[in-house]
A and B are shown apart, each in its own frame.
Chain A
Amino acid sequence: MMHCTMDDLLALRAGEGSAWARQHAAGCAACQAELEALYQRVAQLKALPTRRPARDRWPAVRDAVLAEQRRRRERWGVWGLAAAAALAALLVFRPFWTKPVNAAELARVKEQSATLEQQLRRYDPDGRVTSGRSAALAAALEDRIAVVDGELAQVGPSQAQARPADLVTLWQQRVELMEQLVSVRVTRAAYVGL
């Protein structure tokens, strides 16, 4: 007598059995027992004891996270330095590359940016308690500043001559973002009473 295969039994369990398998299993005690054993095995698999790790791997994960955050900050610093150096080079070696209004405006926003950088340093993020919302906002602002820094670095000395207005706009954007970041940090420090 032909009986159900394991494929047939699994299909029956999934409600996808063929007409033949359904009909056969309905009248065959052996196949019904096999199907029941299959259900039992699956139930026992689900009931196997939960195993727990012998060692704590969180310290390794945490160290990797901290190292990544450090690298990110350093990268951000390098971008900022590169952008500042490019700008300084422009101002020193090409004083007449554009209209005076652009040069003056550029110097002004650059100075504003430097002042804001100093303010930010006073609110070192690593040493302070943070609320989730403000930390998320600060992270988003930092990301946007990094993007602007990247664009500033891309403009560089070679293209800056041809695009002075772009450069001023980028520095203005940077200053606006920095102001928001300072505001978030100062508010947070006040919030946690530091």
Chain B
Amino acid sequence: MTISLAVPDLLVARAKSGDLEALEALYRAFETPVYNLALRVLRVPEDAEDVLQETFLEVVRSIKQYRAEGHLWGWIRQIATSKALMRIRHDRVRETEEWHEESGAGGTSERTSGTAGMSPSGVPAQIDLERAFERLSETSRAVVWLHDVEGYTHEEIAEQMGKTVSFSKSQLARAHARLRRMLDEGVAR
């Protein structure tokens, strides 16, 4: 997902002064990327909408502290990520994990010798990556989305999640191993 979210400085200044029109303009500019991020992590539309609302309440409350260092989207995304991860931590989202952590198959240390199910090009036929992705656990989805799509480093993810860098790395490897397995076996279809 490519996002181009340049916001005029004047709009930010007006928003900082509490101007409702400017705040709404910011909301309109960022509602889709915030919602999309939350939905990819949490999977449930209502939860993603709640995160969207909580994120902008926080944006409104804290925008006076925004120092314009870096892109505004980076700052808002940080808040949205934090709100989404808080939901995971508080167990307020429904657990959708269907592939148990204990399952040896698909583990990160499993050698990838078997390429069964791979097409000659190396890409499984009939893939439904979106559905397979949704079947990962919330934590795995969060790590994969933040790292592979949003471009967070493992250090940043670890900090946001209150975990270690190796936790983030192992979650990513585990998630990719599971995705590969689901796609190969056509589970997601």
On chain A, the residues within 8 Å of B17 by CB distance are 130, 132, 135-136, 138-139
Q: Is the CB of A6 within 8 A of B123?
A: no
Contact between A37 and B122, CB atoms less than 8 A apart: yes
A1-B113, A5-B109, A132-B10 as given contacts; A53 in contact with B27, CB under 8 Å: no
Most buried by A among B110, B111, B112: B112
Q: Which residue from chain B places its CB closest to the CB of A135 in the assembled complex?
A: B17
**In the bound complex, how far is the Cα of B89 from the Cα of A170, in angstroms?**
47
B52 at the interface (CB under 8 A from A): yes
Nearest A residue to B35, CB-CB: A53
Q: What are the interface flags for A60-81 relative to B under an 8 Å C-beta threshold, 1 for contact and 0 otherwise?
A: 1110111011000000000000
A-contacting residues, B15-63, CB 8 Å: 16-20, 22-24, 27-28, 31-33, 35-36, 39-40, 45, 48-49, 52-53, 56-57, 60-61
The chain B residue sitting closest to A29, CB to CB, is B115
A192 an interface residue at 8 Å Cβ cutoff? no
**Chain A facing B: main interface SS:** helix
CB distance from A187 to the nearest CB of B (A): 15
Q: Return chain B residues, CB-CB under 8 Å to A65.
A: 18, 20, 23, 57, 60
- Residue of B with least CB distance to A140: B17
Give the number of chain B interface residues (Cβ < 8 Å).
59
Q: Bound complex: CA of A66 vs CA of B19, how far in Å?
A: 11
Q: Could you give, for residues 1-16 of chain A, a 1 whenever the CB lies within 8 Å of some chain B CB and a 0 otherwise?
A: 1111111011000000
A72 (CB) vs chain B CBs: closest residue: B18
- Is residue B83 within 8 Å, beta carbon to beta carbon, of the partner chain? no
Separation in Å of the A66 CB from the closest CB of chain B?
A: 8
Q: In the complex, which residues of chain B have a beta carbon less than 8 angstroms from the beta carbon of A130? A: 17, 19
- A4 CA to B109 CA in the complex, in Å? 9
The dominant DSSP class at the B interface is: helix
Q: How close is B148's CB to chain A, nearest CB, in angstroms?
A: 5
Contact of B1 among A10, A50, A57, A135 (CB under 8 A): A50
B118 at interface by CB-CB < 8 Å: yes
Known contacts A44-B129, A135-B18; A33 and B122 CB within 8 A of each other: yes
Q: Are A57 and B112 in contact (CB under 8 A)?
A: no
The answer to whether A52 and B35 touch (CB under 8 A), given A7-B109, A10-B172, A45-B148, is: yes
Residue of B18, B36, B40 most packed against chain A (CB within 10 A): B18
Q: Is the CB of A37 within 8 A of B111?
A: no
Residues of A within 8 A of B16 (CB): 136
Closest 7 A/B residue pairs (Cβ):
A132-B14, A136-B17, A135-B17, A33-B122, A3-B113, A6-B173, A57-B53
25 contacts between A and B (CB under 8 A): A5-B109, A6-B108, A7-B173, A9-B112, A10-B169, A33-B115, A34-B112, A34-B180, A36-B122, A40-B123, A41-B129, A45-B133, A45-B145, A45-B148, A46-B148, A48-B129, A50-B1, A53-B32, A58-B27, A61-B27, A61-B56, A62-B20, A65-B57, A130-B19, A138-B17
A-B contact sample (6 more), CB < 8 A, given A37-B180, A54-B45: A6-B180, A10-B172, A41-B183, A48-B1, A135-B18, A136-B13
Chain B residues within 8 Å of A, Cβ to Cβ: 1, 10, 13-14, 16-20, 22-24, 27-28, 31-33, 35-36, 39-40, 45, 48-49, 52-53, 56-57, 60-61, 108-113, 115, 118, 122-124, 127, 129-130, 133, 144-145, 148-149, 169-170, 172-174, 176-177, 179-180, 183
Residues of A within 8 A of B (CB): 1-7, 9-10, 30-31, 33-34, 36-38, 40-42, 44-48, 50-55, 57-58, 60-62, 64-66, 68-69, 130, 132-133, 135-136, 138-139
